Amino acid sequence: MKAANTTLIMAPLALATAILVFAFSGPEIPPTTSSQAAGNQPTTSSQQKNATVNNQGVPGDLSRLEEQVQKLAKQVTTQESLIQTLQTKLSTQSQSSTGLEGQLANLQEQTSGQQQQLERLQTQSSSHQQGIAELKKVTASHGRNIEDLNSTTKTDRKEIKELRNLTAIQSSEIDGLQSVATTYEQQLAGLEMDSKRYTAQFKDMRTVTSALQEDYKSLQRATTDNTNQLGNISNSLYAQSIKIAALNNNPTSMTTLTSRIAKLEEDTETQASSLNSLRTMTIGHKNEIDGLLAQNASYGNRLTALEQEDGLLNSAITALKNKDLSLDGEIARLTSDLALETTARTAADTGLASEITGVSNALSAETSARVAQDDALSASLTSLGTSLGEELTALKTKLTNDLASLSSALQGQIDTLFTENQTQDSAFTAFQQGLATQIQTLVDRLTGHDADISELRTTSSGLTGTVQTLQDSLQTQTNSLTNLTTTVNGINTSMNAVDGRITQLESKVTQMVQPGGGTTPDPGTDPGAGPGGGTPPAPIYKELEETDPTFTYSSGWADFSGANFSGGKLIWSTGSYNPSFPKDNVTFKFTGTSFKLFGYKHKYQGIAYVTIDNGAPVEINFYSATTLYKQEILSISNLDNKEHTVKIERAYVKGDAAGLGDYINLDKVILNFENKPTP
């Protein structure tokens, strides 16, 4: 503020100094000579007046100088207004030129419209040619119709031949039915033989089943005998154990008993061997019995199946007999029908022959009529082709004439425009020349003003001494003012230093004050030491949908709803890349150590780049050959526990060579996922 005040103080002084230097810098006015004072030459009244004025001294010169300065100021003002007037005229001429350019653009539009009309005429000519081609197609279609009639006649003749062949085929079918009846009789005889064979097998199976039942009963009796024998052996062993106990109580007979015990032990071992053999035989017999029972059940099932098959064969034999009887009746009926059909076919062939003769005659007449009609049609087509050719020739002639007249009119308009443009150029050249003349006049007038100023300087040269004195005084004041300015500059320097110190203190205070109201420790101190120390708060787990105000999107993003998306929708970028605008991107800030990005993968999705705190970009890919929802696209952890800025920018590159697009999307973001609370 003090520097500005100093500038305001010095500005008027500098202006006054410049005016005085300008006024008194000319040569001195020569003094009046003594010869003029003595009357060597006559003195006019104007000279006397000037002499009187000159005798007024320095104040008179100053007043004249002020008057001349005012006159110069008025002349400069007049010249400025004249220059403004010329500039206004020049602006008007520019607007007129702009209007002419608009007219030229309108003429160009008219030319474009005439070219479009010419293209429409060419299109109409093409349509006429297409009509001629369609007429040729119709003529070819009539020719094909005649060929179709001829082919129809040939088809009728083929059908007559086919009817005759069909009669022969039906006769062969009757012969085939008779051979089928013979085959059925042979199959019936074979079925009767199979029935007798199955009956004999059934009797054999019953005999085998009875023998197996007898074997089973014999095995049951042998098993019962073995069981009884085992019981007797057990009783004998029990009796012997009682006798051994009695002998143990009588020591006198121990020697005799020892030999008997040894013999009994041998007998016991023999019986044990026999018992094991009997058990083995019993198990074998039991297995044989189980096998026989299973075989008996199988034979029973087979016997039941054979009985059912025998019943089915009897039913089939009965059905074949009935069918044989019906075939005999059918053969008789077919024989009768064949005789009737032969008679009817003979009559039909006779009628058909006469009908073919009539059809042939009618076809000949129709062919003659069609030939005559085709001749007439050919003549009509020839006439039509001639008339169309004449019309097309006339159309081409008219089109050529119209094009010639249109080109002539267009050329005339272009010539007119060219002439008008030349006229405008001439007028503009004349205006430029007039403007140059006016500018030269102004320059001449300014030169005259310079001469007047020189004369004024010559007139005011006598005031040089006074001006010098004033200049010395002014120089003294200027020196004083310079010293004052130096002092003020020193004060300003001190104030700037104070302002810098205040700015540093404000920055330091800003760094010390946290958003939550606390203070951070001074640099170089232990964060955990002292009463003011502390650690950053623990990162907080948070899930953000794409609509959260934390996200800042560029233009080009759109919502996309779907039941499979997180929250029922996501946001994606699908527009084409425009180099005139920044690439589509989304940014968000968070405080913590980790985050995860979730999105939607598809064959239309592409590649994006993720930067953290303006670091190196990380590529992420949203492409997948199959549709995948709620996919983890990127996971970042182990960041410093502070505020981070994350930016996701679309690369406009496909995620795979087989991809169909380069879109990207955002469904959800999880912050500080490692601190997810346990349920």
Whether 247 and 257 have beta carbons less than 8 Å apart is answered as yes
pLDDT for the residue numbered 533: 46
Using alpha carbons, list the distances in angstroms from residue 13 to 34, 111, 444: 42, 69, 33
- Cα distance between residue 318 and residue 129, in whole Å: 82
pLDDT level of residue 661 (50, 70, 90 thresholds): very high
pLDDT for the residue numbered 563: 95
β-bridge mates for residue 642, sequence order? 592
pLDDT level of residue 72 (50, 70, 90 thresholds): confident
pLDDT for the residue numbered 481: 65
Q: What percent of the chain has pLDDT over 90?
A: 19
Whether 496 and 1 have beta carbons less than 8 Å apart is answered as no
β-bridge mates for residue 663, sequence order? 605
Residue 595 in tokens:
């985050």
Virtual torsion, Cα 456, 461, 462, 467, nearest 10 deg? 100
Average pLDDT over every residue of 258-265: 72
- Cα distance between residue 218 and residue 288, in whole Å: 12
HSE-up (13 A, CA, CB side) for residue 196: 5
Angle, vertex CA 457, rays to CA 451 and CA 462, nearest 5: 150
* Cα 263 to the center of its chain, rounded Å: 106
DSSP 3-state percent helix, strand, coil across the chain (nearest 5): 75, 10, 15
Residue limits of CATH 1.10.287 in the chain: 156-361
Q: State the sign of the Cα–Cα–Cα–Cα dihedral 255, 258, 259, 260.
A: positive
Residue 191 in tokens:
């079925």
Average pLDDT over every residue of 491-495: 63
Over 542-609, what HEC string results? EEEECCCCCCEECCCEEEEECCCCHHHEEEEECCCCCCCCCCCEEEEEEEECCEEEEEEEECCEEEEE
Whether 317 and 188 have beta carbons less than 8 Å apart is answered as yes
pLDDT digits (tens, 9 = 90+) for 8-61: 445 555 555 555 545 444 444 444 443 343 444 444 444 444 444 444 555 676
- Cα distance between residue 186 and residue 194, in whole Å: 13
pLDDT for the residue numbered 655: 95
Whether 661 and 531 have beta carbons less than 8 Å apart is answered as no
φ and ψ at 539, to 5 degrees? -60, 145
Residue 298 in tokens:
């199988």
Using alpha carbons, list the distances in angstroms from residue 307 to 206, 276, 295, 300, 374: 12, 45, 18, 10, 82
466 contact partners, CB below 8 Å, separation of at least 6 = 24, 58
What predicted TM-score, i.e. pTM, was given to this entire model?
0.28
Whether 313 and 320 have beta carbons less than 8 Å apart is answered as no
pLDDT for the residue numbered 558: 95
Domain 542-675 belongs to what architecture?
A: Sandwich (2.60)
Residue type, 157: R
Average pLDDT over every residue of 661-674: 97
- Cα distance between residue 367 and residue 154, in whole Å: 14
Which DSSP helix (H) or strand (E) runs through 74? helix 58-249
Using alpha carbons, list the distances in angstroms from residue 557 to 430, 623, 664: 59, 18, 10
* Cα 452 to the center of its chain, rounded Å: 81
Whether 588 and 550 have beta carbons less than 8 Å apart is answered as yes
- Cα distance between residue 10 and residue 477, in whole Å: 11
Q: Report the helix count and the strand count for the chain, using DSSP H and E.
A: 6, 12
Average pLDDT over every residue of 571-596: 94
Sheet holding 595-601, edge to edge: 542-545, 668-671, 595-601, 628-636
Could you tell me which CATH number the domain at 156-361 has? 1.10.287
pLDDT for the residue numbered 276: 78
Residue 111 in tokens:
């030319």
Whether 674 and 593 have beta carbons less than 8 Å apart is answered as yes
Whether 462 and 55 have beta carbons less than 8 Å apart is answered as no
Residue burial 171-180, b: 16+ Cβ < 10 Å; e: rest: eeeeeeeeee
Q: What is the residue whose two structure tokens read 């007999």? A: 321
Q: Residue 595: pLDDT above 90?
A: yes
3-state secondary structure (DSSP) of residue 549: coil
Choice among 42-46, 228-232, 310-314, 342-346 with the minimum mean pLDDT: 42-46
Residue type, 38: A
- Listed residue (501, 503, 521, 504) closest to 512, CA to CA: 521
State the burial class of residue 629 (Cβ atoms within 10 Å of its Cβ: 0-12, 13-18, 19+).
middle
More confident residue, 28 or 490: 490
φ and ψ at 561, to 5 degrees? -90, 150
Whether 89 and 430 have beta carbons less than 8 Å apart is answered as no
HSE-up (13 A, CA, CB side) for residue 313: 19
Residue limits of CATH 2.60.120.260 in the chain: 542-675
What rounded mean pLDDT belongs to the chain?
Answer: 75
Q: Residue 616: pLDDT above 80?
A: yes
- Cα distance between residue 277 and residue 445, in whole Å: 160
pLDDT level of residue 480 (50, 70, 90 thresholds): low
Over 279-300, what HEC string results? HHHHHHHHHHHHHHHHHHHHHH
